[in-house]
Amino acid sequence: MSKPLILVTNDDGITAPGLRALIQFMKEIGDVVVVAPDSPQSGMGHAITIDNTLYIKKLNVDLENGAKEEYSCSGTPADCVKLGLQELLDRKPDLCVSGINHGSNSSINVIYSGTMSAAIEAGIEGIPAIGFSLCDYSWNANFEVSKAAVQKIVREALKNGIPKGVVLNVNIPKTGNESPKGIKICRQARANWKEKFDKRTNPNGKEYYWLTGEFELLDKGEDTDEYALTQDYVSVVPTQFDLTAHHAIQHLNNWELYD
């Protein structure tokens, strides 16, 4: 039997250590093709390029340890997946994996995540997809401790499939050199960012702002991704790109909207 074809992407850029680690993990499972941004694209969400040109460059970032094929893209993470599926791959991939992100994409962070948006773009196109994030923002984070969990989740996804319209959001706790305790299926915790803008003035007297803020957890449940991560478990949240609030339809039908 032929190996599964795995499309690998991210939002931290083609040279990011998290991406290089994910490539190595996936090479032990299938044939790997990489399409990733040529520069960091964190926080881009599901942005796509519609008012500029896109460029693709085939390259060999790592001749010995790299993928079957690697491409850098001038666009966003979602652009990378679109171009990979429509222009670069010679057949439909069996799976798309995005990451491993440098930092958490749990809870409300999933909304802003370029990592997860790349995976969701693949899901929209009918490709089973998973976004992986390590809750360690260090460029030199130890990604090796996540290998067993990442590979286990990928193998199970290839074996059993992922429900149609669902994309998995996987977050891995920061555990130093220790492996996570295990894997838990969770729901997304309710949370928000209390945002602040640090206003400054440059040497020319022009004002500018840095976005800062504090993460505010609004959920005390023990079945959430945030709780699992505090207990040193890998969290797996099934997410969907159908944003309809189905439970609210009946409420809105009670509004006097119709003549």
| Rounded-to-integer distance, Cα 209 and Cα 223, Å | 37
- Is residue 101 a known part of a binding site? yes
Measured torsion, CA atoms of residues 243, 247, 249, 255, in degrees rounded to the nearest 10: -130
Are β-strands 95-102 and 207-217 bridged in parallel, bridged antiparallel, or unpaired? unpaired
Q: What would the two tokens of residue 10 be?
A: 């991210």
Query: Which residues have CB under 8 Å from 132's CB, separation 6+?
Result: 22, 97, 98, 99, 100, 101, 115, 146, 150, 170, 172
- Is residue 2 a known part of a binding site? no
- Is residue 136 a known part of a binding site? no
DSSP state of 63: T
- Is residue 98 a known part of a binding site? no
- Residue stretches of the annotated binding site for a divalent metal cation: 11-12, 42, 101
- Residue stretches of the annotated binding site: 11-12, 42, 101
